[in-house]
Amino acid sequence: EAQVTQNPRYLITVTGKKLTVTCSQNMNHEYMSWYRQDPGLGLRQIYYSMNVEVTDKGDVPEGYKVSRKEKRNFPLILESPSPNQTSLYFCASSRARVGGNEQFFGPGTRLTVL
């Protein structure tokens, strides 16, 4: 089944404790992206990657890191999480650039930073 998977689905952590949210897709998609969704602010793009070893900042990259060493994986790293990073995170992938291409979203990761 074609899908985007994220792990973990739920995470409660404390300020400053490094964490990684994994994202994997099995559709051989070139483009992958991370979003966060907050009430009243909608979905905001954190980072995106147009191919292996090619990543760039979205609209809200502060406090996050990403890497794209393999085509299928695009982990999101929070080196020192803070409470303002409490949010619902979505990973997405598409065949190529977003223009004219459907983005397939993962199920989401709900992160709480205490």
Partner 1 sequence: QKEVEQNSGPLSVPEGAIASLNCTYSDRGSQSFFWYRQYSGKSPELIMFIYSNGDKEDGRFTAQLNKASQYVSLLIRDSQPSDSATYLCAVSNFGNEKLTFGTGTRLTIIP
Helices (H) and strands (E) in the chain, counts: 0, 11
Select from 10, 62, 69, 99 the one that contacts partner 1 (CB under 8 A): 99
Is 95 a binding residue for partner 1 by CB under 8 A? The answer is no
The window from 8-16, 21-29, 45-53, 66-74 that contacts partner 1 (CB under 8 A) reads 45-53
CB 105 within 8 A of CB 5: no
88: tokens are: 């619902």
Select from 48, 68, 74, 93 the one that contacts partner 1 (CB under 8 A): 48
Distant-in-sequence contacts of 48-57, Cβ < 8 A, 24+ apart: 49/74, 50/97
* Size, binding site for partner 1 by CB under 8 A: 24
Contacts to partner 1 by CB under 8 A: 33, 35, 40-45, 48, 50, 56, 58-59, 90, 97-100, 102-103, 105-108
